[in-house]
Amino acid sequence: KQEVTQIPAALSVPEGENLVLNCSFTDSAIYNLQWFRQDPGKGLTSLLLIQSSQREQTSGRLNASLDKSSGRSTLYIAASQPGDSATYLCAVYGGSQGNLIFGKGTKLSVKP
Partner 1 sequence: EPEVTQTPSHQVTQMGQEVILRCVPISNHLYFYWYRQILGQKVEFLVSFYNNEISEKSEIFDDQFSVERPDGSNFTLKIRSTKLEDSAMYFCASKEVNTVTYNEQFFGPGTRLTVL
What is the C-alpha separation between 30 and 52, in angstroms, rounded?
7
Residue from 7, 42, 55, 58 touching partner 1 (CB under 8 A): that is: 42
Which residues are paired to 99 by β-bridges? 94
What is the C-alpha separation between 42 and 107, in angstroms, rounded?
14
Q: Is 85 in the site for partner 1 (CB under 8 A)?
A: no
- Shorter beta-carbon distance to partner 1: residue 76 or 102: 102
CA quadruple 6, 35, 26, 74: dihedral, nearest 10: -70
Q: How many residues line the site for partner 1 (CB under 8 A)?
A: 28
- Shorter beta-carbon distance to partner 1: residue 51 or 70: 51
From the list 21-29, 49-57, 64-72, 74-82, the region that binds partner 1 by CB under 8 A is: 49-57
Q: Would residue 60 be called left, alpha or beta, if left means φ above 0 and alpha means ψ between -120 and 50 degrees? A: left
Q: Is 87 in the site for partner 1 (CB under 8 A)?
A: no
What is the C-alpha separation between 68 and 3, in angstroms, rounded?
14
Binding residues vs partner 1 (CB under 8 A): 31-32, 34, 36, 41-46, 49, 51-53, 89, 91, 93, 95-105
